[in-house]
């Protein structure tokens, strides 16, 4: 059988199929395996997530229900067991994120390489696949860009998405899937920073801890997420923005520009913040108002809020007018920004969209259109939150696709 793409999904599919007895050829267009894996988690490789008291599937924005069979076949514990029996140990950090104890993504890639070698997978780097060979509705091989052909009783398409194009993820698999008759759901960046209408350059590089992000969808305020935020030259980034980006970008379907609100006060509403700010100003009448606002937020942000609210720099607390105090409270509890776009795909962590899930059997990852074709990893229309969910999906779908393809090859 043939596996296209040596990322997380492709390597796992190859290893699993080979362990099941299949003769596997893994084709990778890059000159090395797992290039995207090496940069995940800032080079530390957030492999999966161990959520306590929660449903793992809830970590996915799209395709969570579709993944149930794949996650059951290779759950987080099973994935960690795969690596542990090969000598890799792990640690669990905040929010259930799992990393190798060495903090080296290279250890994960090296372990996969060793497993490929041990199971006898024929790995061919520098082999760009042009298309999948299909005869009588059955996938039976591939054609390389140089014209060379490989035959196989089954084909696993795990060529990745469009994100992190510098690693070679150029979306080669999408036209292959389309040529096979599959529909591609709109491709767009996921887990990505956002651009704002407002000029935030004065706050560039400023990080704020524990921010709650909300936005209005129709007439309803939707809480998008909570965590740390970083202001950029063109907008906002940081963990809470990255995790919230899918919800916010989806809101663009209702019309251009999405108004978000940033709460810097732990969820206290405007009225509660106003009362607290009033009391603090009254308790220190001769103190600069900006210093009091600065007890809620970092100094640079405090200066911007006092300027925007009409308090002004150098104004003493006992000189702050009622209207300006009320506006400052609004800025602290519901700092308004308008999101006008996301950063480009090249800066996204994952690709949203992909091969339609309606055309893939979730029990096997087999194409419902072409027999002998299996799809796994980022190429399918599944995406999840930060914290290891996307890598788990890649490994699990790869595992299930490899196991299922091996059964087809064996004629069972």
C-alpha R_g of the chain:
25
pLDDT tens digits, 66-111: 999 999 999 999 999 999 999 999 999 988 999 999 999 999 999 9
Report residue 411's pLDDT band, with 50, 70 and 90 as the boundaries: confident
Same domain? 36 vs 51: yes
The total domain count for the chain is 2
pLDDT at 152: 94
pLDDT at residue 53 tops 60 = no
Percent of the chain with pLDDT over 90: 85
**Do 354 and 297 have their domain in common?**
no
* 352 and 317 in a common domain: no
Whichever domain contains 29, its CATH number is 3.50.50.60
Residue 169 confidence (pLDDT) above 80: no
Pseudo-torsion of CA 321, 326, 331, 336, nearest 10°? -120
Instruction: Say how far apart CA 239 and CA 225 lie, in whole Å.
Output: 9
Same domain, 395 and 336: no
Q: Do residues 215 and 311 share a domain?
A: yes
Residue 263 sits in the same domain as residue 377:
no
Q: With a cut of 70, say whether residue 393 has pLDDT above it.
A: yes
Which pLDDT band holds residue 405 (cuts at 50, 70, 90)?
very high
235 within 8 A of 339, measured Cβ to Cβ: yes
Q: Are residues 78 and 123 in the same domain?
A: yes
Region 105-130: mean pLDDT is 97
CA distance 6 to 16: 13
pLDDT of residue 95: 85
Cα angle 256, 259, 265; round to 5: 165
Q: Across residues 255-280, what is the average pLDDT?
A: 92
- pLDDT tens column, 225-237: 999 999 999 999 9
Q: In this predicted structure, what is the pLDDT of residue 178?
A: 97
Instruction: Provide the token pair at 129.
Output: 């696949």
Poorest-confidence range of 157-161, 175-179, 310-314, 367-371? 310-314
The answer on pLDDT for 1 being more than 60 is yes
Question: Does the pLDDT value for residue 211 go beyond 70?
Answer: yes
Q: Which of 342, 360, 391 is the last residue of a domain?
A: 342
167 — pLDDT class (breaks 50, 70, 90): low
Burial class (CB in 10 A: 0-12, 13-18, 19+), 367: buried
pLDDT tens across 360-377, in order? 999 999 999 999 999 999
For 89, the domain range is 2-190+348-410
pLDDT of residue 255: 66
> Of 319, 342, 365, which marks where a domain is finished?
342
Q: In terms of domains, do 219 and 170 share one?
A: no
Residue 87, judged by CB atoms within 10 A of its CB (0-12, 13-18, 19+), counts as: exposed
Report the pLDDT value the prediction gives residue 312, as an integer from 0 to 100: 81
Q: Are 301 and 354 within one domain? A: no
% of the chain at pLDDT higher than 70: 97
Task: Give the model's pLDDT for residue 262.
Answer: 96
What's the confidence (pLDDT) of residue 52?
A: 64
Check pLDDT > 70 for residue 54: no
Same-domain status, 301 and 404: no
Distance CA 320, CA 307 (A): 12
* Global pTM value: 0.91
**What is the C-alpha separation between 58 and 189, in angstroms, rounded?**
20
Pick the residue with more confidence: 90 or 56?
Answer: 90
Domain boundary at 326, 342, 358, which?
342
User: Taking the mean position of all CA atoms in its chain, how far away is CA 165?
Assistant: 15
Q: Residues 38, 74: one domain? A: yes
pLDDT band at residue 256, thresholds of 50, 70 and 90? low
pLDDT given for residue 248 in this prediction? 87
What digits encode the pLDDT tens for the residues 11-35? 999 999 999 999 999 999 999 999 9
CA dihedral 15, 19, 20, 21 (to 10 degrees): 110
Packing angle between helix 76-84 and helix 389-410, nearest 10 degrees? 80
Residues 155 and 41 in one domain: yes
Dist. CA 37–CA 26, nearest whole Å = 17
**Residue 339 burial (10 A CB sphere; 0-12, 13-18, 19+):** buried
């Amino acid at each position: 059988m043939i596996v296209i793409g040596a990322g997380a999904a492709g390597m796992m599919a190859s290893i699993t199929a080979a362990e099941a007895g299949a003769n596997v050829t893994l084709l990778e267009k890059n000159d090395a395996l797992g290039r995207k894996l090496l940069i995940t988690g800032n080079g530390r490789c957030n492999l999966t997530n161990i959520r306590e008291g929660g449903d793992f599937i809830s970590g996915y924005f799209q395709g969570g229900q579709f993944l149930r069979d794949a996650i059951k076949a290779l759950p987080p514990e099973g994935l960690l067991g795969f690596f542990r029996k090969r000598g890799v140990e792990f640690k669990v950090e905040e929010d259930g994120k799992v990393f190798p104890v060495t903090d080296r993504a290279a250890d994960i890639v090296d372990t996969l390489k060793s497993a490929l070698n041990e199971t006898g997978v024929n790995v061919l780097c520098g082999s760009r696949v042009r298309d999948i060979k299909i005869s009588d509705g059955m996938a039976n091989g591939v054609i390389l860009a140089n014209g060379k052909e490989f035959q196989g009783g089954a084909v696993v398409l795990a060529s990745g998405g469009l994100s992190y194009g510098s690693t070679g993820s150029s979306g080669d698999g999408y036209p292959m899937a389309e040529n096979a008759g599959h529909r591609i759901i709109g491709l767009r960046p996921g887990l990505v920073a956002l651009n704002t209408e407002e000029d935030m350059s004065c706050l560039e590089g400023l990080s704020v801890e524990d921010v709650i992000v909300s936005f209005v969808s129709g007439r309803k305020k939707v809480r998008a997420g909570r965590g740390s935020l970083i202001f950029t030259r063109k907008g906002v980034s940081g963990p809470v923005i990255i995790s919230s980006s899918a919800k916010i970008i989806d809101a663009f379907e209702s019309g251009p520009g999405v108004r978000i609100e940033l709460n810097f006060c732990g969820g206290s509403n405007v009225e509660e913040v106003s009362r607290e700010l009033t009391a603090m100003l009254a308790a220190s009448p001769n103190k600069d108002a900006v210093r009091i606002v600065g007890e809620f937020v970092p100094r640079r942000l405090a200066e911007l809020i006092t300027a925007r609210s009409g308090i002004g720099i150098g104004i003493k607390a006992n000189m702050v007018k009622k209207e300006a105090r009320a506006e400052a409270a609004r800025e602290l509890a519901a700092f308004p920004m308008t999101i006008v776009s996301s950063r480009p795909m090249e800066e996204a962590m994952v690709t949203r969209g992909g091969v339609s899930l309606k055309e893939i059997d979730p029990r096997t990852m087999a194409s419902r259109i072409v027999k002998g074709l299996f799809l796994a990893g980022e190429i399918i229309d599944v995406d999840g939150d930060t914290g290891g969910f996307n890598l788990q999906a890649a490994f699990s779908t790869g595992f299930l696709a490899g196991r299922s393809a091996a059964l087809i090859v064996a004629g069972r």
